[in-house]
């Protein structure tokens, strides 16, 4: 006769501990701010209340465990969406570097970024400094002036001409896209990545361009 495993019975306290353990992972902690954290607490309380009622009525604790997993997945999706992680995957057609047909000069964007940093506006500074980087690449003829180019397209185009530019440009493009189109916060760390890319664009060798 086949031995059947005993049903998994999960209590209110166990459910709370498991859900809290899951939501405390670094991936979720990096995704939100104080408002999202409070929202998680409320949803977690709701989950444990539902489980307490469910396991109290159901003789099969597996149903409660499945409900717990499903609700955790739902919470994670909501948190990541609110934090902008999932929204960065939307159509790249709307994720252009320049929103106008006639972008300003690299020096103008750079000056704007420095003013935004001085005012503590790192989100604006990330946007302006990456635009300075792409404008610099255009002015130095590394890439052509093409309306509607996205950050990742700029990296690909510049990398084909000067492969050494890929390493500094890729994290900068990610920072730009996450901050400008993914509602991620602008931070000194993200701004530093964009500054490094801009510096690489400013110091790219003309000899490299000829050989590329």
Q: Read off the pLDDT of residues 108-167 as tens digits, 9 standing for 90 and up.
A: 999 999 999 999 999 999 999 999 999 999 999 999 988 889 999 999 999 999 999 999
Q: What's the pTM?
A: 0.57
Give the pLDDT score at 106. Answer: 95
Are 67 and 97 in a shared domain?
A: no
Q: Which residue has the tokens 């980087």?
A: 133
Among candidate residues 8, 11, 72, the one with its CA nearest the CA of residue 43: 72
Helices 12-23 and 61-83 cross at an angle (nearest 10°) of 30
Are 76 and 103 in a shared domain?
A: no
Alpha-carbon dihedral 28, 29, 35, 40, rounded to 10 degrees = 50
Q: Residue 173's pLDDT band (boundaries 50, 70, 90)? A: very high
3-class SS of residue 96: strand
Residue 17, domain extent: 12-83
End of a domain among 44, 66, 83? 83
Q: For residues 178 and 182, give the distance between their C-alpha atoms in angstroms, rounded to a whole number.
A: 4
Per-residue pLDDT tens for 31-61? Answer: 445 555 566 666 667 666 666 665 555 555 5
Give the pLDDT score at 98. Answer: 86
Are 78 and 104 in a shared domain?
A: no
Are 60 and 148 in a shared domain?
A: no
Are 123 and 207 in a shared domain?
A: yes
């Amino acid at each position: 006769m086949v031995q059947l495993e005993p049903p998994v019975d999960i209590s209110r306290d166990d459910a709370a501990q498991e859900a809290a353990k899951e939501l405390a992972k670094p991936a979720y902690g990096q995704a939100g701010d104080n408002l999202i954290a409070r929202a998680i607490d409320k949803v977690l309380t709701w989950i444990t209340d539902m489980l307490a009622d469910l396991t109290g009525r159901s003789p099969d604790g597996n149903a409660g465990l499945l409900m717990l997993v499903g609700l955790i997945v739902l919470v994670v999706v909501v948190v990541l969406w609110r934090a902008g992680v999932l929204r960065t995957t939307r159509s790249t057609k709307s994720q252009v570097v320049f929103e106008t047909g006639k972008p300003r000069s690299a020096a103008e964007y750079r000056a704007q970024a420095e003013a935004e940093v001085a005012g503590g506006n790192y989100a604006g500074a990330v946007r302006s400094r990456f635009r300075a980087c792409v404008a610099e690449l255009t002015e130095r003829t590394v890439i052509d002036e093409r309306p509607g180019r996205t950050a990742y397209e700029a990296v690909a185009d510049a990398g084909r001409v000067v492969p050494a530019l890929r390493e500094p440009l890729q994290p900068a493009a990610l920072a730009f896209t996450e901050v400008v189109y993914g509602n991620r916060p602008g931070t000194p760390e993200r701004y530093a990545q964009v500054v490094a890319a801009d510096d690489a664009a400013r110091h790219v060798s003309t000899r490299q361009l000829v050989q590329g």
